[in-house]
Structure 1
Amino acid sequence: MNTHTIDTSTPVIPADAYDTTAFYADTDAIATVTNTTTPDAVALPSPDASTAELLAAVQEAGHRAVPAPLSETALVARPLLRRAGLPVPDGPLSYAIAPELTVRYAHPAASPVGSAGCLGDDDTLLVTGTLRRVPWARTALAVVVLAAAPSGPVLFTLTPDQAVLTPATNLAEEPRDDLHLAALEIPAAQIRRISPELLDEARLRAALARSALIAGAAERCVDLTVAHTTARTQFGRPLSRFQAVKQEEARLIEEAALVRAAVQAAATPLDTGGAAAHFAVAAAKTQASASAAEIARIAHQLHGALGITRLHPLHLATTRLWSWRDEDGDETYWAHRLARPLTATTLWPALTTTP
């Protein structure tokens, strides 16, 4: 008779009780995210860390199913605030790219043309609308918002208590809250006019952060699946000895390696910017989202019914894969963005040139 022991000490964190300083460590126990490296903690990257170092930390967060906005803080919000010249709060941050907001000047200037509020005596803004599915909004110290003002793209910060928050979660029960703004006045000191290039960089950073998380969760699926098929026996031998299982494991490892390589290849181009960054990040998110479903399918198939239970840690990785696949653009969106700039004369150099 085959038996399998489930470690019931693994805690399940309710969706309404997330602690932004805790995460599932390799030992499946709660540990603390600190600014120092310990055997059971992911170190918070320093503000001066390189993009490659940030991606490594975010990938580790995805591997450990960290219930905290580490990627949103380290790879998206902090760099954008520094680029815009705004102070960087010391704490968990989130972001929202919201061109659909209604943004007007709070102190309209007299103008013979245009509607009231299209010109302002200063940069103080009145913002109305809904920021939808903001990652970790309920736990964030501040949310970095990128929106379209009458003068062009702007970046500003707000705190969740300035909005009406409607709690929601993704499939992995990570907070994805709506923030409703009703003529919220944003002081000029919290606002910076930004270039369209920085707005595009924000989208690239968000997509690459999500890709790195997917890469980490994919590695967790590989680790758990290989351990399971090695330990579980059937007909007197480990599952990993069966040819069909070996083939599926090989496909699983291959898909995870593809995602990891695509994410690593995007680190340097993101720092460089321009067309190279667009190409590399679009390729990374396209690959990550496309592989996520296949990785989760194989992992669950090889685990059998055991992997579906909440007592088994596999769901911590696969539900995140299913959620992150669609967030910040799915594979169809990024495949279109990847292909659109390419023409008959630029396709081959883009494929063969090493960044």
Structure 2
Amino acid sequence: MKTHTIDTSAPVISADAYDTAAFHAAAGAIAVVTNTTAPDAVALPSEDASTADLLAAAREAGHRAVPAPLAETALVARPLLRRAGLPVPDGPLSYAIAPELTIRYAHPTASPVGSPGCLGDDDTLLVTGTLRRVPWARAATAVAVLATAPFGPVLFTVTPDQAVLTPGGNLAEEPRDDLHLAALEIPASHVRRVSPELLDEARLRAALARSALIAGAAERCVDLTVAHTTARTQFGRPLSRFQAVKQEEARLIEETALVRTVVRAAAAPLDTGGPAAQLAVAAAKTQASASAAEIARIAHQLHGAIGITRLSPLHLATTRLWSWRDEDGDETYWALRLAQPLTATTLWPALTTAP
């Protein structure tokens, strides 16, 4: 089975990659944090892997704080390009849903009816505008772009060297770059007309990929918190023996299990599409985003002051939770998407019918 391994040189330190020896070597030494090992890498599943397997890989990437666009590649860009019949480039990929781009025909046809440029000799396009906060754009081989052309929704690919890149990042220091396009010509062979349903599927895939990453980071918070409260002692006994700590740990594990469950439950509906996919993905991202804040709060509370330092690997998980909570739609956005199609007569069947 053909697999790829995504690895980048982005300046993000992966979990458990810290060298704190300099801090303890001598009294008064300045703490030095260095990346002494290669960034964690997770094998990119093959293109024929099931959605459940892809979600598991994305969750593991979130757990390890993998500094690469694994979820963006496996769950969003590759499936969309295959569905549209475009070649799938090797290596890491990203995506952008950008209806605000200005797109016109590169070879307009003179027509006695309609406005100038309303028809074209072919689907070669001139694209102008900015793709904002593209995940891992600087590290991507290509970016799958969904936009609106004169003839309707369209999918094409852009490589970072075709645009002017403005570096950016989220709270976790993951790249979120702007790509500025100035009358970029996209050949007709690289353009595919797509249905509105595929455009909506792109939003669902992006949200579910982010939910799977949140689930992995939440599991990392549980691992680190349980290890800390077990090893740390106070008043002659481990923190984990105190009732108040036990209660908060139970809440942390409960929230994490809830996120993991709703993400797993969305795999089959995403494959079938339709209203079931809308409901399942909206529920997954609503719960994942809503739980992210509570998971981070409990983890930091039980770690105490040590958890907020860069010497602690906890921040690698919690800063990602805070960032991913808002990306690809926060809980408010997806709660509205979840509720809009439901009525008094359709709510119970939606909750009780298997996808």
Give the alignment's TM-score, normalised by structure 2. 0.90
How far residue 111 of structure 1 moved from its aligned partner, in angstroms, is 1.9
Counterpart amino acid of residue 106 in structure 2:
A
Counterpart amino acid of residue 204 in structure 1:
L
Residues of 1 paired with 2:117 and 2:128: CA distance?
13
* Residues 1:123 and 1:68: Cα distance change in structure 2 (over 3 Å): same
Do residues 211 (structure 1) and 201 (structure 2) align?
Answer: no
- SS for the counterpart of 2:115 is coil
Residues of 2 paired with 1:22 and 1:260: CA distance?
25
Note the alpha carbon deviations across 1:279-301, whole angstroms, 9 max, x for none: 00000000000000000000001
Note the alpha carbon deviations across 1:234-255, whole angstroms, 9 max, x for none: 0111001111111110110000
How far residue 31 of structure 1 moved from its aligned partner, in angstroms, is 4.3
How far residue 18 of structure 1 moved from its aligned partner, in angstroms, is 5.4
Asked whether the equivalents of residues 12 and 174 of structure 2 are also in contact (C-alpha less than 8 Å), the reply is no
Counterpart amino acid of residue 51 in structure 1:
T
Counterpart amino acid of residue 127 in structure 2:
V
Q: Which residue of 2 aligns with 1:4?
A: none
Do residues 19 (structure 1) and 5 (structure 2) align?
Answer: no
Asked whether the equivalents of residues 25 and 31 of structure 1 are also in contact (C-alpha less than 8 Å), the reply is no
Residues of 1 paired with 2:180 and 2:115: CA distance?
24
Note the alpha carbon deviations across 1:246-277, whole angstroms, 9 max, x for none: 11101100000000000000000000111101
Do residues 95 (structure 1) and 95 (structure 2) align?
Answer: yes
Equivalences for residues 122-141 of structure 1 within 5 A: 122-141=122-141
Q: Which residue of 2 aligns with 1:332?
A: 332
Counterpart amino acid of residue 107 in structure 1:
H
Counterpart amino acid of residue 61 in structure 1:
A
Asked whether the equivalents of residues 266 and 284 of structure 1 are also in contact (C-alpha less than 8 Å), the reply is yes
Asked whether the equivalents of residues 63 and 217 of structure 2 are also in contact (C-alpha less than 8 Å), the reply is yes
- SS for the counterpart of 2:107 is coil
Asked whether the equivalents of residues 39 and 66 of structure 2 are also in contact (C-alpha less than 8 Å), the reply is no
Q: Which residue of 2 aligns with 1:282?
A: 282
Residues of 2 paired with 1:27 and 1:180: CA distance?
34
Residues of 1 paired with 2:101 and 2:314: CA distance?
38
Q: Which residue of 2 aligns with 1:8?
A: none
How far residue 134 of structure 1 moved from its aligned partner, in angstroms, is 0.2
Asked whether the equivalents of residues 59 and 212 of structure 1 are also in contact (C-alpha less than 8 Å), the reply is yes
Q: Which residue of 1 aligns with 2:311?
A: 311
How far residue 19 of structure 1 moved from its aligned partner, in angstroms, is 1.8
- SS for the counterpart of 1:24 is coil
Counterpart amino acid of residue 345 in structure 1:
T
Note the alpha carbon deviations across 1:9-55, whole angstroms, 9 max, x for none: xxxxxxxx95269973667774467xxxxxxx522101110000000
Residues of 2 paired with 1:23 and 1:260: CA distance?
25
How far residue 345 of structure 1 moved from its aligned partner, in angstroms, is 1.2
Asked whether the equivalents of residues 14 and 316 of structure 2 are also in contact (C-alpha less than 8 Å), the reply is no
- SS for the counterpart of 1:126 is strand
Asked whether the equivalents of residues 171 and 322 of structure 2 are also in contact (C-alpha less than 8 Å), the reply is yes
Structure 1 runs of 4+ off > 4 angstroms?
Answer: 20-23, 25-29
Counterpart amino acid of residue 285 in structure 2:
K
Do residues 111 (structure 1) and 111 (structure 2) align?
Answer: yes
- Report the aligned-residue RMSD: 1.7
- SS for the counterpart of 1:113 is coil
Q: Which residue of 1 aligns with 2:256?
A: 256
Q: Which residue of 1 aligns with 2:60?
A: 60
Counterpart amino acid of residue 243 in structure 2:
Q
How far residue 113 of structure 1 moved from its aligned partner, in angstroms, is 3.4
Q: Which residue of 2 aligns with 1:164?
A: 164
How far residue 191 of structure 1 moved from its aligned partner, in angstroms, is 0.4
Give the alignment's TM-score, normalised by structure 1. 0.90
How far residue 115 of structure 1 moved from its aligned partner, in angstroms, is 2.9
Asked whether the equivalents of residues 23 and 30 of structure 1 are also in contact (C-alpha less than 8 Å), the reply is no
How far residue 114 of structure 1 moved from its aligned partner, in angstroms, is 3.3
How far residue 353 of structure 1 moved from its aligned partner, in angstroms, is 1.3
* Residues 1:208 and 1:322: Cα distance change in structure 2 (over 3 Å): same
Q: Which residue of 2 aligns with 1:223?
A: 223
Percent sequence identity is: 86
Residues of 2 paired with 1:117 and 1:137: CA distance?
31
Asked whether the equivalents of residues 73 and 93 of structure 2 are also in contact (C-alpha less than 8 Å), the reply is yes
Counterpart amino acid of residue 257 in structure 2:
A
* Residues 1:79 and 1:345: Cα distance change in structure 2 (over 3 Å): same
* Residues 1:178 and 1:27: Cα distance change in structure 2 (over 3 Å): closer
Note the alpha carbon deviations across 1:60-119, whole angstroms, 9 max, x for none: 000000000000111100000100001101111000000011111111011233332221
Q: Which residue of 1 aligns with 2:322?
A: 322
Asked whether the equivalents of residues 23 and 31 of structure 1 are also in contact (C-alpha less than 8 Å), the reply is no
Count matched residues.
Answer: 332
Q: Which residue of 2 aligns with 1:77?
A: 77
Asked whether the equivalents of residues 20 and 69 of structure 1 are also in contact (C-alpha less than 8 Å), the reply is no
Q: Which residue of 2 aligns with 1:200?
A: 200
Q: Which residue of 2 aligns with 1:243?
A: 243
- SS for the counterpart of 1:325 is helix
Counterpart amino acid of residue 227 in structure 2:
A
- Unaligned 5+ runs, structure 2: 1-6, 19-35
- SS for the counterpart of 1:82 is helix
